[in-house]
Each structure stands twice: as C-alpha cells, then as structure tokens.
Amino acid sequence: MSKVAFITGATSGFGRAAARKFASQGWSVVITGRREERLQALSDELAERSPVHYQVLDVRNNEEVVQMVQSLPETFKNITCLVNNAGLALAPQPSQTVDINDWHTMIDTNITGLVNVTHALLPTLIETGSGASIINVGSIAGQWPYPGSHVYGASKAFVKQFSYNLRCDLQGTGVRVTDLAPGIAETEFTLVRTKGDQAASDALYEGTRALAAEDIAETMFYLATLPPHINVNRMEVMPTDQAWSPFAIHREN
Ligand SMILES: NC(=O)c1ccc[n+]([C@@H]2O[C@H](COP(=O)([O-])OP(=O)(O)OC[C@H]3O[C@@H](n4cnc5c(N)ncnc54)[C@H](OP(=O)(O)O)[C@@H]3O)[C@@H](O)[C@H]2O)c1
C-alpha cells in the first residue's frame, strides 16, 4: 500500500505544490482546504497519477477536523506524513492600527487550526511509527522580528516551540517533527495578506527571485523521505536574494 500524506491548505501555494510532488512520487494524498472547486480540480489532476481524497475543511473548526479524520476512507487512514501548511498573514500595518479580528483570524488559523489537525492525527501517525513525520510550516517570521509581523510572527514562533515540544513527547514513537520555516516565497500569500491588492503583491516580488512553491514542496518531500532515524528539528529556507537588515534606530531629528 502506498504511503499517505495529509496536506492542509492544498488549494494554493506550498500545499498545492506539495500535493503534486507527493503524488508524483507515488504517495496517496489527502488534500484539504476551504475552496472546493480548487480541491476538485487538483483532485482530478492528481487522480491520473495517484490515489487522492479531498475534503473541504476549515482547520479552525475542531469538530469538522475530528469528523473528517474519523471518516477518512480505509485506504487513506494510515497517515505517514502530516503537512500542517494551512495558514495566513493579515494586516501588514503596525499593531496599533490593526483590526483585532485580523489578529484573531491568524491565531485561529495558524495556532488553533494547526493544533486541531495535529491532535486529530497523532494516533494514526504514532501507529505508523518509524518513518512517520509531521512537517509544520512555520516561517522566518517566527524567529526574526520585523515591522508589521506582530501576531503573524508570534503565531509562527508558536509553531516552532510546539514542534520542539511535540518532539519531546513523541520520542520513542518514531514520529518525527520539523518546523519548516520559509522566507519570502511567491504564492497567494501576499494577496491574502493585503486582502486582494494584486499591485502590492506584484511589487513585493518584483525585481527579486523569491522562492517558488515548488522549492518548498521539494523540501517537504525531502524531509518526509529522510531515513527514519533522522529528524530535522527546524529548517529555515530563504531565497539567496533575501537576508537580514540592520537594527532600526529611532532618532529625534
Ligand atoms: N509565501 C510565503 O512567503 C510564506 C513564507 C513563510 C511561511 N509561509 C506559510 O506557508 C503556509 C502556506 O502559505 P502559502 O504561501 O502557500 O499561501 P497561500 O498560497 O495563500 O496558501 C494558503 C493555504 O492555506 C489555506 N487556508 C487558509 N486558511 C485556512 C483555513 N481556515 N482552513 C483551511 N485552510 C486554510 C488556503 O486554502 P483555502 O483558502 O482554500 O482555505 C490555502 O490553500 C502558511 O502557513 C504561511 O504562513 C508562507
């Protein structure tokens, strides 16, 4: 029986590229997200190569998550790799001007959603044991501060620490956990962050070479197929064109 990857946020960006990568290598894939037409289209595309099961899922809703996991078809029940990818940034402006609902949405998705899915899938991952893995998509924003990152960066810092802590609890089960922390990547991420401002999204990626969704999908597949005795705790991946800035110093004049 083929290995099964369970991917959240597969309707776009990293998640969709990951579904294509795992399916191209003969894995069965469970793909989830909120936009059904996109899941349906991806499912049709992948089904030519590999077994695929899709389900509309809002990761923020724990009841939905539990229900979905319980009703997985028999051949998709034994998960080898969970790609906890669904997430978003909102409100790139300073904290003092942010709508509190945007903060709540990031917390509900990037933190609550991620723990919902992890909790629901831990039993099957532990049953798989040696070779199983959880790839939590964090961000460089979880490690490095920058203006306008506020709750987004903090939510990704949660992902990092949760990943490390999970490792402690899962020691001896064979289940690996990685905080995969990408830098700037060209997906729909900035379009979502700016609430549909295509010009702002284009401007961010203009004149530089950002990571592509496929670059991160390759990394995910690499992590999932490492020899079972190897656990990469955290992997930070930036494009060569991205680096840190100097400290900002406020001056009175
Ligand atoms: N692009 C970057 O520069 C970058 C850098 C570092 C980390 N990341 C992280 O990478 C992950 C993927 O982002 P991306 O760049 O691929 O962005 P994207 O193209 O906007 O994809 C985000 C995915 O998350 C899903 N999603 C959002 N809210 C959801 C919810 N409540 N329930 C279920 N699915 C939900 C979306 O699906 P639906 O809308 O259909 O639900 C979509 O498939 C995120 O966790 C993001 O924080 C991105």
Instruction: Using the predicted structure, report yes or no on whether residue 21 has a pLDDT greater than 80.
Output: yes
Q: Which atom of ligand 1 is nearest to the CA of 188?
A: 19
Cα separation, 211 vs 228, whole angstroms: 27
Q: What percent of the chain has pLDDT over 70?
A: 100
pLDDT, tens only, 158-206: 999 999 999 999 999 999 999 999 999 999 999 999 999 999 999 999 9
> Which residues are CB-neighbours of 125 under 8 A, at least 6 positions away?
79, 80, 82, 132, 134, 173, 175
Q: Is there an atom of ligand 1 within 6 Å of 139 CB?
A: yes
Is the model's pTM score more than 0.95? yes
Cα separation, 91 vs 96, whole angstroms: 11
Going from the Cα of 141 to the center of ligand 1, the distance in angstroms, rounded, reads: 14
Q: Is there an atom of ligand 1 within 6 Å of 187 CB?
A: yes
pLDDT of 147 reads: 97
Cα separation, 217 vs 84, whole angstroms: 12
